[in-house]
A and B are shown apart, each in its own frame.
Chain A
Amino acid sequence: MSAPSQVPESAEDADTADVAAAATQGRSDADNRSLKQIAWQRLRRDKVAMISGVVVVLLILAAIFAPLLAKWFGHPPTQFHQDLIEPSRRLPYIDPANPDAGVDRWGGISGDHLLGVEPTTGRDLFSRILYGAQISLLVAFLATLVCVALGTILGIIAGYVGGWVDTLISRAMDIFLAFPLMLFAIALVGVIPDGVLGLTGNGLRIGVIVFIIGFFNWPYIARIVRGQTLALREREFVEAAKSLGAGNRHILLKEILPNLITPVIVYATLLIPTNILFEAALSFLGVGINPPTPSWGKMLSEAVPFFREAPYFIIFPGMAIFITVLAFNLFGDGLRDAFDPKTSD
C-alpha cells in the first residue's frame, strides 16, 4: 500500500505535460471549472483514491440503508438471541442445536448471523455494525459541518478584514487548538443535565459531541480559509470587482467564497476521520453514545470482558473503525493531491 501523496505522476504518461500546462492555465485565468476537470482527471488515475472513494460511498449507503440491509441479511440490532448463548460463559454455542459441543470462541457465525452474535445478549453483530456506521457517520458529518461553518466564517473574516480582527481570530485559533479536547468532552457529559434544549438520551449525547468538536476544531478549517482568503484578496479578479464598485458583501460572497469551496471540501474530508475516531473514543470510555443504540466504540468496550477467551469480538467493531477512517484518510489525501497545483509535475 502506498500513500497517494507519494505517488509521482509518471513521466511517460502522454498527457502529463498537457495536464500540467492546463493546470497552469487554469490557475492563471482562475477558471475554476477547468481546474476541477483537471483534478477529476488526476483523481481518476489515482487508484488508491478511487478505491477509497468507492469504499466511502458504500459506507455511506450502508449507513443510510442500514434498516433495509439488517432486515434482509440480519436481525434488528437490539433483538436478543439468548438461545444462542451458553449461559455460564456467556459466549455463543458452536452449534445451538447441540449445546454439548461447547462455546465458539470465534463468534458463532452462521448463515443466519453473518458476523456472529454478541456475547451475553446474542444480538446480531452484522446489524449492530451497520447501525454503528449510522451513528458514527452522523456524528462525524454533523461535527464536521459545524467546524466548516464556524471555520469558514471566522477564517474569511480574519483573512479579508485583516488588522486587529485577524490578530484576534488567529490568536483564538492557537488557543482553541491548545485545549484538552477529550477532557472537556468528558467534563461536558458530566455537567450537562438530561433534557437540555429538549434533547434527551442519545440526542443529547450527539449534540454534546457535535458541539465540543465544532467548538474546538473549527481552527483547522479556519486556518486554511484564512490563508486562501489572504491570497485571493490580492488577485486581479477581486481588484477588478472592486474597481467596478462592488461592495464587500459582493466580493466576499460572489468573488472569494466560490474559490474557497474546493479547499474547504478537501480539508473537511480529512476532518471526518478524526471526528469518527473521537466519537468512537468517547463511546469506548462510556461517555459517548448510550446503549442499547449500537456504536463501534461501545461495542469494543463491551467486548473487553471477553477478549481473553474470545478475542474475536473486538475485531469486527475495530476493523469497522479502521476501514472507515482509513478510507476517509486515503480519499481525502487523494482529493488534496488532485487539487494541489504543486503536485502537477
Chain B
Amino acid sequence: MLNYILRRLGAGLLLLVVVTAVTFWIFYVLPRWAGVTPQGMAAMYVGKAPTPEAIQATVDRLGLDQPIAVQFVEFLRTLIFGQEFTFGRQTVECAAPCLGYSFSTNSPVLPQILDRLPVTLSLGLGAAVIWVIGGVGVGVLSAVKKGSVFDRLAMGAALAGVSLPIYFTGLLALAFLVHQWGLFPVSRYVPFTEDPVAWYQVMLLPWITLAFLHAAQYARQTRAGMLETLNEDYIRTARAKGLSERKVIFKHALRPTLTPILTILGLDIGMVLGGAILTEKVFSLNGVGAYAIDSIVSKDLPVILGVTLLGAVFIVVCNLIVDLLYPVVDPRVRITA
C-alpha cells in the first residue's frame, strides 16, 4: 500500500517536471525556433507599445539572450525560489513560487490569478456536483430500465449533450432563459463569503449549462459500465441470496462502474482551470480562464504562462488525488499494489 502511494507520488512529481518543461519549451524555445529574436520575445513580455530601452531591459532581466539551458535553469530557479525585479530605485519581489512577473501591470502574476481562482473553482466544483449526481443517476436508471422510453430519451439527450458546445447552449440559455423569459436573474458574480444566496443564484445557470455537457458523458459511461456488470455472475449470486434490488444495484453493480467514472472526474476537474474558459467567457465570469484570454488582447504573456503552468499543476494534482482514491473505491487495486 505504502509502495503504491509512493509510486503514485513519484509519478505525479515526474509529470509535474515534464509539464513544466513543456510549458517552458512552448514559451521560450518554440518562438526562437520560429525565428523570433530575444528582442522580439521581450516585446511580447512588456505589453503594448514598448520602448526599445524597455525591451532591452527585459531581455537582460529575463536573460532571453542566454543559451536555452541557462534560461531553463533560471526559469526553474525563479519558480522555486522567487526573484526580485528592480526598476530604477524600486524593487518588487516576486515571492516563490513565482509563476511570472507581469511587466505591463508591474506586479507578480500569481496573486492576480489567485484573486480570480474562487470564481473558477465555484464554477467548476459546483457544476461537477451536479454533473456527477445527474450523470451517474441517469446512467444507472437507463441501465436498469434498458430499452425503455426513459432510456432512449436519456441516451438521445446525452448524445446531443456531447455534441453541443457550451458557447452555443450557454448563449441560448442566456438569450432565452435570462433575457427573453426572465427565469434567471441578470447579475454579476458575488463571492460566496459575501452573500451565499446571491452567489448561488448567479452561479446556478452556468452550473447547469456546464454540467449538462459533462453529465452526458457520465451517463453514457455509467450506463455502459452498469450493463456490463449487471451480467456478471456475482450479481446473480447477490440476487439469488435474496438481496433487495436496490442493494444489488447500488452496492454491488454500481461500485465497479465508479472506477472509470472517477478517472474521468479527475481529468475533468483537473481541466477546470483551462476548460472553464469558454463558460467564463459566455457568462462573463471574471475567472482565471477569462484572465488568460484577456491577456492575449493586452499582450501580457507572463499571465498566460502563469495560468498555463498553474493549470497544468492543477491537472497533475487532481490526477494524483484520483490515483490515491483508487484503492478506496476499488479493493482490487489494494491487493495488486
Chain A interface residues (CB < 8 Å from chain B) = 1-3, 6, 174-175, 177-184, 186-193, 196-197, 273, 277, 280-281, 284-287, 297, 300-301, 303-304, 307-308, 311, 314-315, 318, 321-322, 325-326, 329-330
Q: CB distance B165 to A280 under 8 Å?
A: yes
When distances are taken between beta carbons in the complex, the residues of chain A under 8 Å from B296 are: 186, 189-190, 286-287
Per the bound structure, the CA–CA distance linking A70 and B35 in Å amounts to 39
Query: Knowing A300-B168, A330-B159 touch, does A183 contact B315 (C-beta < 8 A)?
Result: no
Query: Knowing A2-B155, A190-B301, A285-B278 touch, does A311 contact B22 (C-beta < 8 A)?
Result: no
Q: Judge whether B292 is part of the interface by a CB distance below 8 angstroms.
A: yes
Q: CB distance B30 to A326 under 8 Å?
A: no
Q: Judge whether B316 is part of the interface by a CB distance below 8 angstroms.
A: yes
When distances are taken between beta carbons in the complex, the residues of chain B under 8 Å from A190 are: 44, 295-296, 299, 301, 304
Query: Considering only CB atoms and an 8 Å cut-off, how many residues of chain B contact the other chain?
Result: 63
Q: CB distance A318 to B172 under 8 Å?
A: yes
Q: CB distance A285 to B179 under 8 Å?
A: no
When distances are taken between beta carbons in the complex, the residues of chain A under 8 Å from B163 are: 273, 322, 325-326, 329
Q: CB distance A318 to B168 under 8 Å?
A: yes
| Interface-side segment among B90-98, B116-124, B306-314 | B306-314
| Interface-side segment among B106-114, B200-208, B235-243, B268-276 | B268-276
Nearest Cβ distance between residue B97 and chain A, in whole angstroms?
17
Q: Judge whether B61 is part of the interface by a CB distance below 8 angstroms.
A: no
When distances are taken between beta carbons in the complex, the residues of chain A under 8 Å from B271 are: 180
Chain B facing A: main interface SS: helix
When distances are taken between beta carbons in the complex, the residues of chain B under 8 Å from A286 are: 293, 296-297
Nearest Cβ distance between residue B42 and chain A, in whole angstroms?
13
Per the bound structure, the CA–CA distance linking A168 and B63 in Å amounts to 33
When distances are taken between beta carbons in the complex, the residues of chain A under 8 Å from B26 are: 184, 187-188, 191
Per the bound structure, the CA–CA distance linking A197 and B35 in Å amounts to 9
Minimal Cβ-Cβ distance residue in B for A48: B159
Per the bound structure, the CA–CA distance linking A207 and B208 in Å amounts to 35
Q: CB distance A321 to B165 under 8 Å?
A: yes
When distances are taken between beta carbons in the complex, the residues of chain A under 8 Å from B307 are: 183
Minimal Cβ-Cβ distance residue in B for A304: B171
CB < 8 Å: which of B31, B220, B295 contacts A192?
B31
Per the bound structure, the CA–CA distance linking A322 and B171 in Å amounts to 14
Q: CB distance A326 to B34 under 8 Å?
A: no
Q: CB distance B171 to A307 under 8 Å?
A: yes
Chain A facing B: main interface SS: helix
Nearest Cβ distance between residue B164 and chain A, in whole angstroms?
6
Q: CB distance A329 to B162 under 8 Å?
A: yes
Query: Knowing A308-B175, A311-B176 touch, does A277 contact B165 (C-beta < 8 A)?
Result: yes
When distances are taken between beta carbons in the complex, the residues of chain B under 8 Å from A177 are: 267
**Which of B40, B146, B223, B304 has the most CB atoms of chain A within a 10 A radius of its CB?**
B304
Within 8 A of A (CB), among B113-163: 146, 151-152, 155-156, 158-160, 162-163
CB < 8 Å: which of A3, A196, A315 contacts B156?
A3
Per the bound structure, the CA–CA distance linking A187 and B274 in Å amounts to 11
Extra 7 A-B pairs, beta carbons < 8 Å, given A189-B296, A192-B30, A281-B167: A3-B220, A180-B274, A183-B311, A183-B312, A186-B296, A191-B30, A321-B165
Q: Judge whether B305 is part of the interface by a CB distance below 8 angstroms.
A: yes
Query: Knowing A307-B174, A329-B159 touch, does A321 contact B168 (C-beta < 8 A)?
Result: yes
Chain B interface residues (CB < 8 Å from chain A) = 15, 18-19, 22, 26-27, 30-31, 34-36, 40, 44, 146, 151-152, 155-156, 158-160, 162-165, 167-168, 171-172, 174-176, 179-180, 220, 223, 267, 270-271, 273-275, 277-278, 281, 289, 292-293, 295-297, 299, 301, 304-305, 307-308, 311-312, 314-316, 319
Minimal Cβ-Cβ distance residue in B for A195: B35
CB < 8 Å: which of A191, A287, A318 contacts B31?
A191
User: Please, could you name 23 A-B residue pairs with CB atoms under 8 Å apart, sorted by A?
Assistant: A3-B155, A6-B155, A178-B316, A179-B19, A180-B274, A180-B308, A180-B314, A182-B277, A186-B304, A188-B30, A190-B301, A190-B304, A192-B34, A281-B165, A285-B281, A285-B293, A300-B168, A318-B165, A318-B172, A322-B165, A326-B159, A329-B163, A330-B159
When distances are taken between beta carbons in the complex, the residues of chain B under 8 Å from A308 are: 175, 179
Q: CB distance B315 to A178 under 8 Å?
A: yes
Q: CB distance B19 to A300 under 8 Å?
A: no
Minimal Cβ-Cβ distance residue in A for B151: A6
CB < 8 Å: which of B152, B174, B297, B319 contacts A178?
B319
Per the bound structure, the CA–CA distance linking A192 and B28 in Å amounts to 11
Per the bound structure, the CA–CA distance linking A301 and B160 in Å amounts to 21
Q: CB distance A2 to B172 under 8 Å?
A: no
